[in-house]
Amino acid sequence: MEEQLKSMQIMIAGRSYPLRVKEQDMESIKHVVEEINEKIKDFQLTYINKDKQDCLAMALLTYAVELHKVKMNDSTTPQQISRKVDHLEHLIENILK
């Protein structure tokens, strides 16, 4: 039986994105969106002359570096890495739409 997807609306860097996600992923996505927006805000405060796109790219780079470090850490389970990668891929796909 196929799992039902739920609709949700997220806001990243002041732009709204509609998503269709598994219900059990909704809280994780909300948490990640909050973290991303906080990172973007931090970059905007640090680099006042940069636009939101630059700050978004820098936030994405921060997550990519963190993911790379996690991949290099032997104590992290493959399931943890897979979940983080899936969340990042999902967010990136929806941002690029």
Mean pLDDT of the 52-59 span: 89
Task: Give residue 53's domain range.
Answer: 5-96
Q: Which residue has the higher pLDDT, 66 or 73?
A: 66
Confidence of residue 31 (pLDDT cuts 50, 70, 90): very high
Statement: residue 69 has pLDDT above 90: no
What total number of domains does the chain contain? 1
Alpha helices in the chain (DSSP H): 26-46, 52-72, 78-96
Note the Cα 32 to chain centre separation in Å.
5
Instruction: Find residue 16's DSSP bridge partners.
Output: 11
Asked if 81 contacts 66 with a C-beta cutoff of 8 angstroms, the reply is no
pLDDT for 62 beyond 70: yes
Q: What is the DSSP letter of 77?
A: -
In this prediction, residue 76 carries a pLDDT of 60
